[in-house]
Amino acid sequence: MRALLIVNPNATTTTPAGRDRLARALAERVSLTVAHTTHRGHAAELARSAHADGMDVVVAHGGDGTVNEIVNGLLGTPSERAADPTLPLLAVVPGGSANVFARSLGVDADPVKATAQLLDLLARRTTRRIGLGHCDGRWFVFNAGLGLDAQVCEAIDLSRLGGRKVTTARYVVHSITQFFKSKGAEPALTLTLPGRPPIPGVYYAFVSNSSPWTYLDKRPVHTNPGTSFDTGLGVFAMTTTAVFASLRVVRQLLARHGNPNSRRLVRVDDVTRVQAVSSRPIGLQVDGDYLGLRTEVEFVSVPAVLEVVAPTPCVE
């Protein structure tokens, strides 16, 4: 088995020691090539080359941004098509701050434990096919959004440029700041879902491909608990920015088995697509990466398009 290990040395929790430990362990089981990313988009370039070279497995060691780049490099321009049997398998050893994709797949958040887990999964050839979402010419693996979360991602990106470390506390501070910054604005979004009349008056919308939507350290945040890699997309959209109503929903999001509901909340699971139109330019984020301002975006679910090295999901 031939494998390419793609390491983002600048990811939040990636360390030289952890990288070397992972590389040594993998090299004992597979024919391994190691590559380090050096610029934005490099992971996608490396993934495309791995596919062209006939690699069997691509292992991502970095954060969710690295994973997203690799997935987009492997799959290319989004299209509604069947899975490509020539694609390498994708495996992930967490190295970022939240590591939402890896943890949602059941991969251990600790890189050392995740390395041992990966070796066991490879030995047993344990894989699963997962669905993904796409929008604006880009695949997303766990979530995308318009409005509030995109503004937070933009603020976090600016913090990174200023040399500040990404932490849960910083995410929370930026979320609160952006929420109050946007309170004076009128709702701009109208959402259209299959078989439903348009939903106007939306302030912000989260679109999920899995659950949890994100993590605050060890605490999962569930917007659409019925959404998974085996279903369509989940939609979570607020039609108010009133403080009391918003705090009530936030409390539900942080509950252990979160099941948020409110008369000012639009929440739908397992949709094949959702069209969002905005009366003014509004921010778009994909897997935590801020893409800029948009006035129209369509989010589409593509089932079983990528094969990953991951534990078999528990059936409840």
pLDDT tens for 274-311 read 999 999 999 999 999 999 999 999 999 999 999 999 99
Alpha-carbon distance of 306 to 88, in angstroms, equals: 9
Q: Positive or negative, the Cα torsion across 101, 121, 225, 299?
A: positive
Identify the band that residue 166 occupies on the pLDDT scale cut at 50, 70 and 90.
Answer: low
Give yes or no: residues 183 and 297 share one domain: yes
Q: Where are the alpha helices (DSSP H) in the chain?
A: 16-27, 42-52, 64-75, 100-104, 111-124, 148-161, 168-181, 243-253
Question: Which band of pLDDT confidence, cut at 50, 70 and 90, is reported for residue 153?
Answer: confident
- What pLDDT score was predicted for residue 80? 60
Residue 171 sits in the same domain as residue 292? yes
pLDDT digits (tens, 9 = 90+) for 245-265: 998 998 888 887 778 889 999
> How many CB atoms lie under 10 A from the CB of residue 281?
11
Q: Are residues 107 and 180 in the same domain?
A: no
* Mean pLDDT for the stretch of residues 223-250: 93
pLDDT for residue 81: 64
**Mean pLDDT, residues 101-115:** 94
Rounded to whole angstroms, how far apart are CA atoms 153 and 287?
Answer: 9
Q: Is the pLDDT of residue 266 over 90?
A: yes
What's the distance, CA 259 to chain centroid? 20
Nearest to 140 by CA among 87, 206, 68, 63: 68
In this structure, are 173 and 203 located in the same domain?
yes
On whether the CB atoms of residues 301 and 233 are closer than 8 A, the answer is yes
**Per-residue pLDDT for 70 more than 80?**
yes
Instruction: Assess if residue 310 is contained within a domain.
Output: no
Q: Are both 155 and 203 inside the same structural domain?
A: yes
Average pLDDT rounded to a whole number, residues 172-198: 87
Last residue of a domain, which of 125, 150, 169?
125
Q: What is the pLDDT of residue 77?
A: 86
Query: pLDDT per residue over 14-57, tens digit each?
Result: 888 888 999 999 999 999 999 999 999 999 999 999 999 999 99
The DSSP code for 98 is S
- Are the CB atoms for 219 and 257 separated by under 8 Å? no
pLDDT number for residue 254 = 82
User: E strands within 193-288?
Assistant: 199-202, 204-208, 214-216, 219-221, 233-238, 265-271, 273-286
Is the same domain home to 181 and 283?
Answer: yes
Query: For the domain that residue 67 is a member of, what is the CATH number?
Result: 3.40.50.10330
Q: How confident is the model at residue 182 (pLDDT cuts 50, 70, 90)?
A: confident
197 with 170, same domain? yes
Residue 82: the pLDDT is 65
pLDDT for 162: 64
Among 125, 155, 185, where does a domain finish? Answer: 125
Higher pLDDT, 182 or 267: 267
Q: Annotate 107-133 with b (16+ C-beta within 10 A) or e (fewer).
A: bbeebeebbebbbebbeeeebbebbbb
Same domain? For 291 and 152 the reply is yes
Please give the mean pLDDT across all residues of the chain.
91
For residue 94, give every residue at least 6 positions away whose Cβ sits within 8 Å of its Cβ, in sequence order, or none: 13, 63, 102, 103, 107, 108, 109, 110, 111, 114
In this prediction the pTM is 0.92
Pick from 140-144, 163-167, 182-186 the range whose average pLDDT is largest: 140-144
Residue 175 has pLDDT above 70, yes or no: yes
Same domain, residue pair 85 and 189: no
> Structural domain of residue 7, as residue ranges?
2-125
Range 145-172 average pLDDT: 78
> What is the domain count for the chain?
2
Residue 259, C-beta contacts closer than 8 angstroms, at least 6 positions apart: 222, 225, 252
